[in-house]
Structure 1
Amino acid sequence: MIPLQCFRVTFSKLSPDECAILLTKVSSIVKVYLYQLGSSSIEKVIECLPNLLSLEVLHIQQSYCTPENLSLLPTTLPSSTLTTLELVNCAINSSSVRTVIDAVLMSHHLEALNLRDNFIDDEGGVHLCSMLKQLFGSSGKPANDHNSSCSFKKFKFLDIGHNPFTGHGISSFIDELAHFKSDSINFTLSLPLGWKDLVCEHDSFTKVEQHLKFESNEDD
C-alpha cells in the first residue's frame, strides 16, 4: 500500500494509537498541529519524532505536558528534522521546561521554540536564561560544547509570552540578551505587549531592542 501524503495536518483529541498511525503511516508531513492531547498521546508523539523525516513544525496546544510525558524529548528531538517546536498552553512549568531545554541544547536542527501561555515562572526563566547563555555564550560566541555549538548555528527564536514572570524575571532575560554581541547573533525573543513599558525602562533596552518582538495574545 502506498502511504498517504500530506503537507499539513490538524487534529484534536487523538488517542495514542491514532497518533502512531498519523505519524507512521502518513508520509511527507511537514507541519503537524495537535490539540487537546492526553498524556499518553503526547508521549506517543514525542516517541515518533525520529520517524518523521520531513517534519519541520510540531505544534501542540491545550494539552498537559509533564516531565514524564516529555521525558523522551531530549532523545528524540535531536534525531528528528524538526525546526519549530510549539508547546502552547500546555501547562509547562518550571520543572517540565527543564526537559524541553535539555532537548533544545541537544538538537542540531531546531530554530524556534514557542512556550507561550504556560506556567513558567522566574525559576523557569533562570533555566531559560541559562539555555541562552549555553547557546550563545556571554560574548556572543557559542559555547565550547559540541551540541550547543550546533544549536547556536540554528536557534533563532524563543516565545515566552504570557507566562507568570515577575518584573525581576523579565529583567533577567534582558540582562542576558545584553551580553550578546548584537552584530553576530540572529535571535529574537518574543514578549507580550503588556511587558513593553517595563522592558523599555530597562537600562540595557537600547542594547537588546533589535532582539525583541512584542506581540499581542491573539493567534496570527
Structure 2
Amino acid sequence: MQCAFGTQDRADRFYAEQLRDRLLPRMVEFITRMDMLFVASSDTQGECDASLRAGPPGFIRVLDDRTLAYPEYRGNGVHASLGNISENAHVGLLMVDFVSDLIGLHVNGTARIVEDATFRAEFPEVHGEQVPGRRAERWVVVGVEEAYIHCRKHIPRMERLSQRREWGTDDPARKGGDYFHAKGTAAVAPGSERRSYPPLRRRFPSTTHLSSGSARALRPRPAEPARRVLPG
C-alpha cells in the first residue's frame, strides 16, 4: 500500500526514526504507568479479535527490554484472546495515555501463555498482588519484536476519575449484565446463515502493477522463535 499510495519515503523515515526491536527506557517508563492495554490477536485462519485488559498502573510487567507480560484474570470463560494465541502467537498491543501526554505505544511480538505458578517461578522478581482478592490465573508473556509510537493527533483528552471497582465479583449486574439486550435474541438472524469467510489471501503474486515493477521487503521480520508447547 505504501507503493500504491506513494508514501514509501515517509514510511521509511518513520521506520528509521521510530521503529525499534526493543523497549527503550522511556517506553518502559510509559508502560509502568499504563492502566489499560488493548490486545489484538487472530487465529490461524485470520479471524481477528480485539480486547481490553485493565488494572492499576504497573499491572503490565516489563521483564526486560525485549519481554513484557500481562495477567489474565477470571472472566467469562470464552478465552477469545488466549484461544487465538494458542493457535497464532503473533499479537499486537496498544497502550494509550489519554490523560497526560496524549500519546500511544505499539508493541508487536510473539506471545506464550504461562500459568501463574510457573510464571512466578520463572520470574521470581514479580511478586505481590496489586489488587486485594484479584490474583492472576495465568500470564501472557510477549517477546517484543517491534515497538513504536502512536501519534497524538487524534487521541482525545480524558479526565481520570476515582472509581470503585468490583474486581473479584461474579455478579452479572456489576459485570455489565445484558447491557446490549442480546439475551433471548437469535444468535444468527432468522433467514440468514452465518457468514462464511474466504480463505486468507496469499501475498501479492506480483508487483507489476506498481511503478517500480519489483517487490521489496519494507520491514524484514526476524525468524520466528520456537514456540513453547504448554502441557495439556
Please, what TM-score do these two structures have when normalized by structure 2?
0.24
Task: Give the structure with the higher percent helix.
Answer: 1
Which structure: larger Rg? Answer: 2
Structure 1 length as normaliser, TM-score?
0.25
Name which structure has the greater RCO, CA cutoff 8 Å, separation 6+.
2
Q: Which structure: greater strand fraction?
A: 2
